[in-house]
Amino acid sequence: MFKGSITALVTPFKNGAVDEAAVAALTERQIAAGTHGLVPCGTTGESATLTFEEHMRVVEIVVEAAAGRVPVIAGTGSNNTAVAIENQQRAKAIGADAGLVVAPYYNKPNAEGLFRHFKAIHDAVELPIILYNVPGRTVIDVQAETVARIAGLERVVGIKDATGDMARVSAHRRLIGDGFVQLSGDDPTALGFNATGGVGAISVTSNVAPALCAQFQDATLAGDWETARALNDRLMPLHHALFTSSSPGPTKYAMSVLGVMNTEVRLPLTEPNEASNAAVRAALVHAGLLEQA
């Protein structure tokens, strides 16, 4: 159910408020382009600056707009276990297909604390969980042995791994088995991730280039590595350009260049500088998404 190109959706704003019509339009654009799944209100969705009401309203709009055509994995994680449970409960009530639960950030729990955090969420809500390991943001790196222990919980069905460490895929397969869903959270290494046993990516770049990212994932899943490599070469400069400033600023800028949405972000994020914007424009040209100026 969870595989292929799964977009970590940006959250569009208009004059400081969530642009609900734009959320629905972005959802439709993604599905029309062949995207295999959607993640509203993850890191790329600026979840840290959304109120609980805004957060869940965005999830609700995406679920309603998707209308069962692709799975919706709601961002539900928190470094407060009780809040994560509340988020997971609401996501289930709205109709999300799973919750993306990030490792608790800032608190720096040990392995036992990590396990108990995920177990508490698992035991409180009957909704599938995808564990999200992104040590570059959380400081905590969920080691493979701890992932395996957490994966022993019935409704923990997979992981979004943003470590960029290809050895993790094989370690998870060895410790958990190949039925555990492994999704890359790092676009530049998604090719190698799938080659070693991954089945998809929760992607930032697919906000900008949904069709190319879907085609890339389809090629890897079909074992067509020649096509996958060619698409990866087209996308690689874009993968990097989208992180030349704080994400999702460059992503929103790229989408504005393509006429999809505006560039508005919420503080403490700011819009990218011109050097970042220039890198994004060059990458769009390289990918064939924008004509050379």
Q: How far apart are CA 79 and CA 293, in angstroms?
A: 45
Query: Peptide bond preceding 248: is omega within 30 degrees of 0, i.e. cis?
Result: yes
Q: How far apart are CA 88 and CA 10, in angstroms?
A: 20
Backbone angles phi, psi at 58, to 5 degrees: -60, -45
Q: How far apart are CA 249 and CA 255, in angstroms?
A: 10
For 81-131, give the secondary structure using H, E and C.
HHHHHHHHHHHHHHCCCEEEEECCCCCCCCHHHHHHHHHHHHHHCCCCEEE
Q: Which of 236, 265, 262, 260 is nearest to 248 (CA)?
A: 265
Question: Which residues carry out catalysis?
Answer: 132, 160
Q: Which of 221, 260, 253 is nearest to 32 (CA)?
A: 260
Q: How far apart are CA 267 and CA 269, in angstroms?
A: 4
Tell me how far the alpha carbon of residue 1 is from its chain's centroid. Answer: 16
Q: How far apart are CA 152 and CA 31, in angstroms?
A: 32
Query: Peptide bond preceding 12: is omega within 30 degrees of 0, i.e. cis?
Result: no
Q: For residue 216, what are the CA distances in angstroms to 206, 221, 231? A: 10, 9, 6
Supply the DSSP string of 53-73, one letter for each residue: HHHHHHHHHHHHHHTTSS-BE
Q: Note whether 141 and 133 are within 8 A (CB).
A: yes
